[in-house]
Structure 1
Amino acid sequence: MSIKLRLTIMNFFQFFVWGIWLISLGGYMGQVFGPVEGSSIGLSIGRTYGSMGWASLFMPALLGIIADKYFSAQKVLGISHIIAGIAIFFATKASNSTEMYWVIFATSCFYMPTIALNNSVSYAVLNKFSFDVQKTFTPIRVWGTVGFIIAMWVTDLTDWKSNTLQFVFASVSMIVTGLFCFTLPDVPAENKNSNQSLTSKFGLDSFVLFKQKKMAIFFVFAMLLGAALQITNMFGDTFIRDFGSNPEYKGTFGVEHSVFIISLSQISETLFILTIPFFLKRFGIKQVMIFSMIAWVLRFALFGIGNPGSGVIFLILSMIVYGMAFDFFNISGSLFVEKQTDSKIRSSAQGLFMLMTNGIGAIIGGELAGRTVSYFTIGNKIQWSNVWFSFAAYAFVIAIAFAILFKYKHDPKELENIEH
């Protein structure tokens, strides 16, 4: 088996195992725990998803240090997947939201670091066999998104999304993925961080960037927008499934295959990636990030007016704009960090960007979203339109504030060498 094929398989399963349960978890919790927990279920779902943010604060750096200093990276990657696979199995035993919270937290502690470790292993292996990393990795990585989409389809079409079989499937898939990691070429520990302080190892030296007004403003907005990134992952499936309680929508394709409908978001994501070079060159980083924020406004607003019946077109449009909402900020934001930071702390700065969006932002987003859903829950009935319009208003305020406060002048020549 060729090196590129092995890495393609690895990247495929890296995100396949996440797609099995990430989108359907909220809907499952609402269906199974909601009748008992009532209006508090929204807050419980938000906090459970927020546990991924807590795990992202420290575990990626910790396991990164272990891979750098003590064990081969592909072995750390494999062991992490196996432990995550064992942890997610206990979701089948969770009898309430509190138990589910701790299962997902434990799973995330070992799964979330594998995202960065997978990239590191892929880069190292490609370099080892003299491939052009920049040209070779992108078509390999796109199979990760394909894996995520296919996993969503499998979970939806088998209706495992409605029962604990989704967690059994995820557990087995994670363990198999972990075992496959041991077949990859060796990426030995190099002790490259042996002379660094703990502050440097955990990427904390990049916090010096907060002394720069422009960077401080950028990272604050990265955190605020990061709070929006996971909201539809948390409640999108729950929202669409909830229409099934209304006879008008019960049995419609959208209700029966809610995860399949949501998968259109990931398909849109893969397509919008291809448009980023054009938009960045034409409009610049700041404008592209504003486009992302406006797309988040539309994402939530279209959910607010959509339904699986006559309003299904609005749900589909919401899935389409998701690609712009997600990609335009993540990729242009990462590029901004790349161009604005010194090479000595560039990796740490990228880590800080991820920490602000997927760590602190995700924690805030989980709490904010959960409280919003709980606030608009009357009895066991969630007023979904109010929920989504509230999120749309939040994203709109962020967009206006960002446009006013973030100062950045576009230089078309600066982005001439962006690779497609």
Structure 2
Amino acid sequence: MNVTTRVKLSTMMFLEFFIWGGWFVTLGPFLAATLKASGAQSGEVFSTQSWGAIIAPFIIGLIADRYFNAEKILGVLHIVGAILMYQMYKATDITVFYPYVLGYMIIYMPTLALVNSVSFNQMGDPEKEFSSIRIFGTIGWIIAGLIISFIFHWDSPEGIAAGALQKTFLMSGIASAILGVFSFTLPATPPTATEGKVSVSKMLGLDALKLLKDKNFLIFFIASILICIPLAFYYQNASQFLTEVKMDNPTGKMTIGQVSEVLFLLCIPIFFKKFGFKWTILVGMLAWAVRYTLFAYGNAGDLSFMLLIGIALHGVCYDFFFVSGQIYTDSKAGEQYKSAAQGMITLATYGVGMLIGFFVAGKISDAYKTADGHNWNMVWLTPAGIAAVVFVLFILLFNEKKTAVEAKA
């Protein structure tokens, strides 16, 4: 890959995740403080991510894979996304905001697959080259959080009171417009689908349902859906929680989670080889329970270290469960169902699992709402308990001793 192409792909990844990190992290406190949304209403807004994940395969399968170059679809989607983001910036009521955020997530979620397609199309050895490009996406997410907290201070108590979080949508909208225009300069990535009817089941990964006949894979599949319920609590409530307990620069400090994600990603091959899939994924499950327990009993004062450790556990929580799960799925699927199996797991987790999770998180937030905020102790102990139950069930029911990947190792 030449230097020009590498720079373009790295810039694309940086902007792709700068956009997402620039508004999604602070969405919770924005909805509560600026739009006065209830927990249930916030859950509905966050669930638009799941609806986007469910609809995305249709956009990719029916349009991008068959009729138009991926980089051109990427450009159009981000330009439309910039327009929707501007409407979100101007919205002053949750009923006005919701249709725009739903439309935006339906537009944005397909771009996550498109940036990968554009990247892979330029690589001779994706296994070695992709990580060095993808890491710029994580850097983009981190930079967005640092800008919000340490440059503009939009997430400070004074900034939130003044409605400054609304400006995050303007910042992300500008970045979306830039990426939209920039996408048309990216290397050509022509459609790859063959002629003929498009299989809906193949687009959604349903061709891989036969894998569920394997008891251990079925247990893993169900556990993947269930563990997304605690995951949804983090996305929906963490930023609002840190804001309410008055932690300084909460958005900036939440980027510790992304740094952790990069570091623990490097540890997975070693841990996977030494301890195997079952114990790797169990560590990920346990980390969710530990993280939320730390959130439940920590504070922004003398116990602030507990909150920071909870944030830093994001790498273990996410990488050890989801990334190792993707590796396990790949090893079980075989060549014929590799893509379908990954699509099925994505639909189950980011679609079904998190859709349930955001609904539950919204209801729990409302149930423990108080006059001056929330009873965060009880809010966090709920997902901690769910993660602990999933951990126990998995350790008892999942009996596979060695996977294909472990055997190779």
The TM-score bracket by the shorter chain reads over 0.9
Offset at residue 137 of structure 1 (A): 1.0
The 1:184–1:318 alpha-carbon spacing in structure 2 relative to 1, beyond 3 Å, is: same
Structure 1 equivalent of residue 139 of structure 2: 146
Which consecutive unaligned segments of at least 5 residues does structure 2 have?
none
Spell out, residue by residue over 1:6-26, the C-alpha distance to the aligned partner (whole angstroms, 9 max, x if none). 111111111111010111011
CA-based RMSD: 1.8
Provide the C-alpha distance between the structure 2 equivalents of 1:70 and 1:296, rounded to a whole number of angstroms.
42
Matches within 5 A, 1:148-227: 148-157=141-150, 158-161=152-155, 162=160, 163=164, 164-192=166-194, 194-227=196-229
**Contact 1:82 1:175 (C-alpha < 8 Å) held by counterparts:** yes
**Of residues 103, 123, 126 in structure 2, which corresponds to 1:133?**
126
**Contact 2:277 2:406 (C-alpha < 8 Å) held by counterparts:** no
Offset at residue 219 of structure 1 (A): 1.2
**Contact 2:86 2:169 (C-alpha < 8 Å) held by counterparts:** yes
**Of residues 318, 328, 344 in structure 2, which corresponds to 1:326?**
318
How many corresponding residue pairs? 398
Structure 2 equivalent of residue 249 of structure 1: none
Tell me which moved more, 390-399 or 61-70.
61-70
**Contact 1:282 1:412 (C-alpha < 8 Å) held by counterparts:** no
Q: Which amino acid counterpart does residue 143 of structure 2 have in structure 1? A: I
Pairing 1:50–2:42 present:
no
Q: Which amino acid counterpart does residue 155 of structure 1 have in structure 2? A: I
Spell out, residue by residue over 1:62-117, the C-alpha distance to the aligned partner (whole angstroms, 9 max, x if none). 23431111001111111111112211211123223233322221110011111111
Offset at residue 196 of structure 1 (A): 4.5
**Contact 2:257 2:312 (C-alpha < 8 Å) held by counterparts:** yes
Offset at residue 136 of structure 1 (A): 0.9
Matches within 5 A, 1:364-379: 364-379=356-371
Provide the C-alpha distance between the structure 2 equivalents of 1:56 and 1:413, rounded to a whole number of angstroms.
28
Offset at residue 236 of structure 1 (A): 0.9
**Contact 2:61 2:198 (C-alpha < 8 Å) held by counterparts:** no
Q: Secondary structure at the match of 1:69?
A: coil
The runs of 4+ residues in structure 1 deviating greater than 6 Å are none
Spell out, residue by residue over 1:229-272, the C-alpha distance to the aligned partner (whole angstroms, 9 max, x if none). 2322211111111124xxxxxxxxx23x1111111111111111
Q: Which amino acid counterpart does residue 127 of structure 2 have in structure 1? A: Q
**Contact 2:204 2:347 (C-alpha < 8 Å) held by counterparts:** no
Q: Which amino acid counterpart does residue 229 of structure 1 have in structure 2? A: L
Structure 1 equivalent of residue 302 of structure 2: 310
Provide the C-alpha distance between the structure 2 equivalents of 1:187 and 1:117, rounded to a whole number of angstroms.
10
Provide the C-alpha distance between the structure 2 equivalents of 1:101 and 1:227, rounded to a whole number of angstroms.
22
Tell me which moved more, 5-14 or 52-61.
52-61
Pairing 1:259–2:251 present:
yes
TM-score (norm 2): 0.93
Spell out, residue by residue over 1:308-350, the C-alpha distance to the aligned partner (whole angstroms, 9 max, x if none). 1111100111112111001111111001110101321210110
**Contact 1:297 1:393 (C-alpha < 8 Å) held by counterparts:** yes
TM-score (norm 1): 0.90
Pairing 1:277–2:269 present:
yes
Provide the C-alpha distance between the structure 1 equivalents of 2:232 and 2:357, rounded to a whole number of angstroms.
7
Percent of matched pairs sharing the same residue: 32
Q: Which amino acid counterpart does residue 289 of structure 2 have in structure 1? A: V
Structure 2 equivalent of residue 298 of structure 1: 290
**Of residues 83, 88, 105 in structure 2, which corresponds to 1:86?**
83
The 1:411–1:365 alpha-carbon spacing in structure 2 relative to 1, beyond 3 Å, is: closer
**Contact 2:231 2:354 (C-alpha < 8 Å) held by counterparts:** yes
Tell me which moved more, 88-97 or 383-392.
88-97
Offset at residue 185 of structure 1 (A): 1.1
Which consecutive unaligned segments of at least 5 residues does structure 1 have?
245-253
